[in-house]
Amino acid sequence: MTIDQASVVRALPLVMGIVNVTPDSFSDGGRYLTTEVAVAHGLELLAEGASILDVGGESTRPGASLVSVDEEIRRVVPVIEQLAPHGRVSIDTRKPEVARAAVAAGATLINDVSAQLWPVAADLGVGWVAMHMQGEPATMQLDPVYDDVVDEVCAFLAQRAGEAEKAGVSEIWVDPGFGFGKTLQHNLTLLAQLDRVVSLGWPVLVGTSRKGMLGRILADSDGVADPVDPDDRLAGSIASEVWAMHRGAAMIRAHDVRAAIQAAKVVAA
Ligand code: HH2
C-alpha cells in the first residue's frame, strides 16, 4: 500500500531528543551520567527544537549490564523532575515501576521497547510507544530470523496497539525497532517498506540515529571490517531519517536534534 504523499509533505515530522543517563549506551554512554549534565543536555536539545525528550536509565544495546529498578529510578527521576517544567518528557524503560516513578516525576509518554507496558499507560492516563523487538537485548543480535520481517513486525505492532486501544490508551505510537533483533538486511527491508507500517494507522516513531546498521553499511562500502564509529554516523543518520520521514514517519528519535530538525523542515517543505 502506498502512502498519501501530500499528507507527508504537509506535516513537519517531530523530533524526539535522546537523553541517556547511562554509563554504557552504545553511542553516548557516560557522557550525561550526572543529573546536572543530563539536564543541561536535555535543555540544549529543547533549545534546538526537540518536541519531546526521551530520558533513559538503562542501555538496551547487546551486552549492556542489567540495571536494578532502584538504580534506574535514581538515574532518571531527578532528571525528569528538572526537565518536565521546560518541555515534554518520555521515559525509555521496560520496567513498570520505573515508568510509574517517571510519570509521577512529570513524564507523559512511556517509550517501551518491550511493548508490554500498555496497562501502565492506561492506568496512568499517559501516552505509550510500542516498539518491536525479537528476543531480549542480551541475545537479540545473535541470530535473528523471520519468514517475512515486514509482515511479522506489522502484525505484532497492530496486535499490541489494538490491545492498548482496547485498554483505553489515548495516545499510541508504533516503532519497528531498528536494530532490535534484526540483521542489516532486516533493517533495510523494514526501512524500504516503512509505508506498510505507516498504513497500519498509528503514528510511527523511527529510531535509526547512529545505529550499528549505519556503521555496517559504511564499513562494507569501504571494504573495512570494523563498523564506522558512532560519532561518525551523522550523515548516515540523517539519510536514514529523511528516508523514514518521506515514507511517512511522524517522529524521529535522534541524538543529533538540530540536524534532524533541519532535515525535517526541508522534507516538509
Ligand atoms: N533505540 C534505542 C533505545 N530506545 N526506543 C524506541 N522507541 N526506538 C528505538 O529505536 C530505540 C529506543 C537504542 O538507542 P540508544 O538509546 O541511543 O542506545 P542505548 O540503548 O545503548 O542506550
196-220: b (≥16 Cβ within 10 Å) or e: bbbebebbbbbbbbbbbbbbbbbee
The domain spanning residue 49 has which CATH number?
3.20.20.20
Rounded to the nearest angstrom, the distance between the alpha carbon of 93 and the centre of ligand 1 is 10
State the cell numbers at 120: 501502565
pLDDT band at 63 (very low <50, low <70, confident <90, very high): confident
Look at residue 8 and tell me whether its pLDDT is greater than 90. Answer: no
For a mutational test of ligand 1's pocket, the pick from 16, 24, 25, i.e. the residue with the most ligand atoms closer than 8 A to its C-beta, is 25
Residue 84 lies in a domain: yes
Question: Which residue's CA lies nearest to atom 1 of ligand 1?
Answer: 207
Look at residue 79 and tell me whether its pLDDT is greater than 50. Answer: yes
Query: Which percentage of the chain shows pLDDT scores above 90?
Result: 88
State the cell numbers at 214: 549505519
Contacts of residue 259, Cβ cutoff 8 Å, sequence gap at least 6: 234, 237, 238
Residue 171 lies in a domain: no
Mean pLDDT of the chain: 94
Q: What does the DSSP 8-state code read for residue 231? A: G
Of the spans 17-31, 58-72, 139-153, 244-258, which averages the highest pLDDT? 244-258
Q: Is the shortest distance between the CB of 111 and ligand 1 below 6 Å?
A: yes
Give me the domain span that covers residue 87.
Answer: 14-107
Residue in 61, 196, 211, 233 annotated catalytic: 211
At residue 65, the pLDDT reads: 82
Index of the ligand 1 atom closest to the CA of residue 64:
21
Pairing of strands 52-56, 14-20: parallel
pLDDT band at 13 (very low <50, low <70, confident <90, very high): very high
For a mutational test of ligand 1's pocket, the pick from 26, 41, 240, i.e. the residue with the most ligand atoms closer than 8 A to its C-beta, is 26
Rounded to the nearest angstrom, the distance between the alpha carbon of 173 and the centre of ligand 1 is 15
At residue 183, the pLDDT reads: 96
Residue 118 lies in a domain: no
State pLDDT tens for residues 176-211: 999 999 999 999 999 999 999 999 999 999 999 999
Residue 102 lies in a domain: yes
Residue 45 lies in a domain: yes
Q: Known catalytic residue: 211? A: yes
At residue 62, the pLDDT reads: 85
Rounded to the nearest angstrom, the distance between the alpha carbon of 8 and the centre of ligand 1 is 25
Strand partners, 254: 17
Number of domains in the chain: 1
CA 176 – CA 113 distance, rounded (Å): 10
Rounded to the nearest angstrom, the distance between the alpha carbon of 265 and the centre of ligand 1 is 23
At residue 227, the pLDDT reads: 94
Residue 26 lies in a domain: yes
Q: Known catalytic residue: 253? A: yes
Lowest mean pLDDT among 3-7, 13-17, 56-60, 140-144: 3-7
CA 99 – CA 73 distance, rounded (Å): 9
Task: Note the helical H segments in the chain.
Answer: 5-10, 35-47, 69-83, 96-105, 118-124, 149-167, 184-192, 194-198, 212-222, 234-246, 257-268
pLDDT band at 10 (very low <50, low <70, confident <90, very high): low
State pLDDT tens for residues 83-131: 999 999 999 999 999 999 999 999 999 999 999 999 999 999 999 999 9
Rounded to the nearest angstrom, the distance between the alpha carbon of 110 and the centre of ligand 1 is 13
Residue 98 lies in a domain: yes
State pLDDT tens for residues 202-258: 999 999 999 999 999 999 988 999 999 999 999 999 999 999 999 999 999 999 999
Residue 256 lies in a domain: no
The three-state secondary structure class of 233 is: coil
Q: Is the shortest distance between the CB of 129 and ligand 1 below 6 Å?
A: yes
CA 48 – CA 45 distance, rounded (Å): 5
